[in-house]
Structure 1
């Protein structure tokens, strides 16, 4: 948790409108360091619009705060530089590069040097490259991608490993808050277990994690707090136990009133 320092990521009154369609209306939530926030809701509830609004990919109303500092008007790429990272629902990687080269590429903010430095200090550049490769290797293993896959192209590795790679690339050299959009899509068995273990490990390391997910068993087992959206509005928020027993949620999302 944040230890009384306030949430890592806080959104207030987010709203998104596409013409006459209100996709998101006055949605507010927050997530602390070392906490997993789950966002659930039926199809069309506004979950992806919420992510797009937080990361400034759409025109929206409301305010966004990162570590207590307002970043409402910050450009998407600058949000990433400040530690707000996002993995999309579809796997995203450089298809022409190997798995290891993909990871090295996203670490350039840490290891990259200017052209002048490269020309004047070639040996330093070689050493930095070697450091980047080793760092990338360790990060891939940390995200559940064995070394046996590092020299393969992403399209030639199992789908479950592709999902882990997408998360690793989104995290890059580090993050304060990581937003994942249906990370469990298409996963099952051992791959689902690996994902659960990864999410728990990121939480233990103090990362603030936000997860959109349709797999209820997953989200109920890892989330500390859950936000339920319906038709673009906040229907309920609370612990997994609270959400599972909320009659509004059972009626609107789980499809069974009790």
Structure 2
């Protein structure tokens, strides 16, 4: 079954039509790339899919309609996303940030902490162990666990953003410009990470401006310009499309 299917997605901000009848699908074990000029509507598509903004059209998660489902509930169902800018709890360590990804599922809440403190202590131990395992799984060494996220090398911050979004087990991961501000070995590490997640069966939708990275790792490509789909298909085929060359690369074929 298709992991995520989007049909006729449209978003309007006042008089601005940010998205107009955009459709795409992504299966488990696949990376779908989304490209387009600045302001094309790429990030709006992520906001719409996760019900952060009002939208029309259908979004199906593993065949189930998500209309009206709160963003946090979608996250618990496995639909998660990263953001263009790193979003960490600045006062917490790397490990504590990772623990927050598990506390909703493992925590007992304030009442439980008062009435059954031993359960809260056990839940916290389990949460800490799960967070350590998550960080190790994403190649974030233990020596970084007590560091504040903003003190990490920037490339590792981007990896941490993906790890926190993935959390206890994403099914569909929307990744918004993970390679922004990185290059060289850091970009190679991100490419390898995304490939590995794909091999695990994760469905990934990737917004990215680094075309070398996009063309190297995506299975299919969606091009949006001014809120509309102008091309959708295999990367090599899309790359030759005259509309893409004109809209995205700024020249005609």
Give the alignment's TM-score, normalised by structure 1. 0.93
Aligned to 1:249: 244
Q: 1:87 aligns to what?
A: 82
Rounded Cα–Cα distance in structure 2 between residues aligned with 1:19 and 1:118 = 46
The equivalent residue for 1:201 is 196
Match of 1:211 in 2: 206
2:18 aligns with 23
Aligned to 1:138, the other structure's residue is in SS state helix
Q: Quote the offset at 1:72 in angstroms.
A: 1.7
Q: What is the SS of the residue equivalent to 2:224? A: strand
Is the Cα–Cα contact under 8 Å of residues 19 and 226 in structure 2 kept in the other structure? yes
Q: Distance in 1 between matches of 2:115 and 2:142?
A: 33
2-structure distance, mates of 1:44, 1:191? 26
Match of 2:128 in 1: 133
The CA distance in 2 between the partners of 1:234 and 1:161, in whole Å, is 33
2:100 counterpart (94, 101, 105) = 105
Whether contact under 8 Å (2:47, 2:53) holds in the other structure is yes
RMSD between superposed Cα atoms in Å: 1.5
Cα distance per residue 1:4-23 (max 9 Å; x no partner):
x2x11111111111222111
Tell me whether 1:150 sits opposite 2:151 in the alignment.
no
CA shift, 1:195, in A, is 0.5
Q: How many residues align?
A: 253
Q: Is the counterpart of residue 186 in structure 1 residue 216 in structure 2?
A: no
- 1:26 deviates by 0.4
Deviation of 1:89 after TM superposition, in Å, equals: 0.7
Please list every run of 5 or more consecutive structure 1 residues that lacks an aligned counterpart in the other structure. none
Q: Which of 45, 49, 59 in structure 2 is aligned with 1:50?
A: 45
Cα separation, 1, equivalents of 2:142 and 2:180: 24
User: Is the Cα contact below 8 Å between 2:79 and 2:171 reproduced in 1?
Assistant: yes
Residue 44 of structure 1 deviates from its aligned partner by 1.4
Partner of residue 34 from structure 1, selected from 29, 34, 59: 29
Instruction: Answer whether contact 2:108 2:119 (CA < 8 A) is retained.
Output: no
Conservation of the 8 A alpha-carbon contact between 1:31 and 1:209: yes
Contact conserved, 2:22 with 2:229, CA < 8 A, in 1?
Answer: yes
Select the residue among 155, 172, 185 that pairs with 1:160. 155
State the alpha-carbon separation in 2 of the partners of residues 120 and 74 from structure 1. Answer: 32
Q: Which runs of 5+ in 2 are unaligned?
A: none
Partner secondary structure for residue 15 of structure 1: strand
Instruction: Quote how far apart the aligned CAs of 1:253 are.
Output: 0.9
Which residue matches 1:8?
A: 3
| 1-structure distance, mates of 2:39, 2:111 | 50
Partners of 1:126 and 1:38 in 2: CA distance? 43
Shift of 1:143: 1.7
Q: 1:57-72 maps to which residues of 2 (within 5 A)?
A: 57-72=52-67
Contact 1:144 1:194 in 2 (8 A): no
TM-score by length of 2: 0.95
